[in-house]
Structure 1
């Protein structure tokens, strides 16, 4: 580990793991078979409720100093009794859930944080009052869903009459979609010029905007507001890039450029104007362009979801019902009707500001270059590239590109956007550029193969980034939440980049663990 003035740096995950195991028995419901905390226990309990890195910035990074590691271990040790009580409540809530035959939602997502609240209020569950408290909690959370569950979706579409009606509605909506008479460049040159203006004005200024290491979006206020930086502060002219970006974004939305892009993809035009050579017009959002007409469908799995524009109606509704905040959605019949129209809309989105966000995000993804050293074309590219190039995993991938078995592709900026596993459950590698070799169809055979695949993914800018971006835009569309201004757009684009980076980092760690286990096994 690298040394700091305060000593060595320790992975936060290891610090949490050691401190968790030291708490002793009683945490089994929140732990995996080996005794380590469940991933959701860390995400929903340890980080937000025990360590609270928002209030303790020294605990926010993936690497902790010795002093910060001692603080984290002490916080977990002090909260041990409450965590054990929360584990007891979780066991009780699951038992009551089964007795009440409640099946909607993931129990860990639904109950972990509520169990912590119950532990803080009541301590460990004690009969007979605990049974009644648990029953009220289970029924309250079940009523909160209001039938907005995957099980309700299955029941709704299982009815033959309903399925026929939905299939007919899909057919009508698909026949009414706007398809241009002739294919053309996708997207248009003027749309890309406006997108570049947006990307240059919505991101932080190059000088002093990189922020703290690993922090999303640089040094931004906690409320997510993005300050405007005048060009004179960067030593250029007196124009305010924020105002110019707002005007460009308004022009994109007002001109219907998102709709025009989505409609052009249906025309299956071979031309692409995204920038780097080999970037497909559909940016990997469809495996077999033009995107096919969506079917009704009857099953879905997060592990086997196809590319976004290739999904059935069932798969599209399935993803929004599995996302946080689904209890705010309309009832399932209304949701299915809305999704029927949305699935046949340009880019699979009904709001024009969200279509434009996908256009701008695609332009961003096509120009990212985490493996390179040259500055990107816009502030947004440079801000995200800086964060990626600081990653040790990216540096290793850059070294791996000289290997004869994984030579880099030679196109455009030479770049690739952050690569990661399926950002929204889709299969990795679906929809690669025609000039690139097909992605592996099976799991890598070793840690070295995993690292090689990760290095390759850093050179495919349109896959991981645009899929995750589409998934978030789809969720906003389902909640009728458009994009209001460049500050909100940048928060979204930068957040997607940071999320993909975290996934990439996790995959690198998994690959290194595989390498370590293989080496240890060989030595034994």
Structure 2
């Protein structure tokens, strides 16, 4: 019989260096909780993406306070700590899951359809679990009260009021006339853009030092002046904001679908409101449906179809910074350009698409197209972000600038990664028809 292996300092170091995939550790710990957390789980028994985003990461794991638990790979000690945190929260997670079923049932009884119930209720369910425990005999009444409260302080009731308003033909005729008049009165701004000032602000923004430069651009109406160029044939289309050669006058509309929203400048007034408020408006948004629609009509007729000069300046800065994402070799003129380019080009799928012909990259055609036209996708998402902030009365401050510009690219990358992962999963299961087409 051979002697047992001696534990040397080197072997102990090697054992300590073994790393465990964070996602796998979470999945294993989660599966130990069993069927009681099924409402928070996907078909494979793993936590839903929204469970991770809204409950596990911010409320259970807390990676900001516990940075050792934040990485994609964990040491043995960190993996043990992460498992223990999830196990310790098992009772609260089970109670929160039960509350989610109660809140969904109350939502159905109240006839509420706007917004995603996971986004709206997951964190409140965990709060209920921690403060009240599992649902008891009065759970129905509590659930109705909570769901009604959330609806009152979110976009649910407001969007319902807008839909009701736009179901009145007389109101729609009046609003269409207001829209036509606002579109006719659009002011002609002098063309021009202080490129040096824009580059200076971009150079300073990642360091949080763009305050005075940003204020100067806003004070000189740099955003409105730059918007004059969008009147050139094909200019707005090249930025991914419309499919038309020139931005068309919007219609009032009255219906919308999250899966099939047009490009920003091609949306109806209702589609603009729906896109920004379907996930919930800020509690302090005190405005009625008529006022909301009338404000959006005025906003649609202003430069960049945005109401605030700060928002327009952000679009100018984003337009300049996003040149770093172009497929060709683009001079990376500022710190912002270099950091955006570095984030974009360190993605393996991006490097593969840019290096190889489309048919040889192994990347699905839809993702290849998005990589090669990423600047348009970036600017679309940036417009949506600043428009949403306007509607929620959360204006852009100079300190928000870099987080906004960089965060939009992170969002684009995460969306492309997920679609790539989904496409690869379909290919592995033999369901490749949609990508092949």
* Length-normalised TM-score, structure 1: 0.72
Unmatched 5+ residue regions in structure 2?
1-13, 433-437
Task: Give 1:238's aligned residue.
Answer: none
Structure-to-structure mapping, 1:28-47, within 5 angstroms: 28-47=38-57
Q: 2:185 matched to 1:158?
A: no
Please give the secondary structure, in 1, of the residue aligned with 2:186.
Answer: coil
Q: Which of 406, 411, 421 is the matching residue for 1:509?
A: 421
Please give the secondary structure, in 2, of the residue aligned with 1:178.
Answer: coil
Q: 2:219 matched to 1:254?
A: yes
Structure-to-structure mapping, 1:197-208, within 5 angstroms: 197-204=200-207
Q: Which of 403, 417, 421 is the matching residue for 2:357?
A: 403
Structure-to-structure mapping, 1:29-428, within 5 angstroms: 29-127=39-137, 129-145=138-154, 148-179=157-188, 188=192, 190-204=193-207, 226=208, 242=209, 245-266=210-231, 268-269=232-233, 282-329=238-285, 330-368=287-325, 376-398=332-354, 401-403=355-357, 405=359
Q: Residues 506 and 100 (structure 1 numbering): CA distance in 2 closer, same or farther, change over 3 Å?
A: closer
State the distance in 2 between where 1:493 and 1:404 align: 28
Contact 1:166 1:296 in 2 (8 A): yes
State the distance in 2 between where 1:151 and 1:143 align: 11
Structure-to-structure mapping, 1:453-468, within 5 angstroms: 453-468=366-381
State the distance in 2 between where 1:29 and 1:106 align: 14
Q: Residues 154 and 402 (structure 1 numbering): CA distance in 2 closer, same or farther, change over 3 Å?
A: same
State the 1:168 CA deviation: 0.6
State the 1:25 CA deviation: 1.4
Q: Residues 496 and 334 (structure 1 numbering): CA distance in 2 closer, same or farther, change over 3 Å?
A: same
State the distance in 2 between where 1:36 and 1:301 align: 29
Unmatched 5+ residue regions in structure 1?
205-225, 227-241, 273-279, 408-447
Cα RMSD (Å) of the superposition?
2.9
Task: Give 2:33's aligned residue.
Answer: 23
State the 1:383 CA deviation: 1.5
State the distance in 2 between where 1:151 and 1:101 align: 11
Please give the secondary structure, in 2, of the residue aligned with 1:284.
Answer: coil
State the 1:292 CA deviation: 0.3
Q: 2:437 matched to 1:483?
A: no
Contact 1:180 1:264 in 2 (8 A): no
Please give the secondary structure, in 2, of the residue aligned with 1:93.
Answer: helix
Q: Which of 17, 33, 40 is the matching residue for 1:6?
A: 17
Q: Residues 490 and 4 (structure 1 numbering): CA distance in 2 closer, same or farther, change over 3 Å?
A: farther
State the distance in 1 between where 2:147 and 2:395 align: 33
State the distance in 1 between where 2:15 and 2:331 align: 29
Contact 2:162 2:289 in 1 (8 A): yes
State the 1:282 CA deviation: 4.7
Contact 1:265 1:289 in 2 (8 A): no
Q: Residues 519 and 136 (structure 1 numbering): CA distance in 2 closer, same or farther, change over 3 Å?
A: closer
Task: Give 2:3's aligned residue.
Answer: none
- CA deviations over 1:372-401 (Å, ceiling 9, x no partner): 7x8722100112222333333334334xx2
Please give the secondary structure, in 1, of the residue aligned with 2:372.
Answer: coil
Please give the secondary structure, in 1, of the residue aligned with 2:194.
Answer: helix
State the distance in 2 between where 1:335 and 1:301 align: 19
- CA deviations over 1:411-469 (Å, ceiling 9, x no partner): xxxxxxxxxxxxxxxxxxxxxxxxxxxxxxxxxxxxx452x543443332421211111
State the 1:14 CA deviation: 3.6
* Length-normalised TM-score, structure 2: 0.86
Q: Residues 146 and 324 (structure 1 numbering): CA distance in 2 closer, same or farther, change over 3 Å?
A: closer
State the 1:85 CA deviation: 1.0
Aligned length: 418
State the 1:246 CA deviation: 4.4
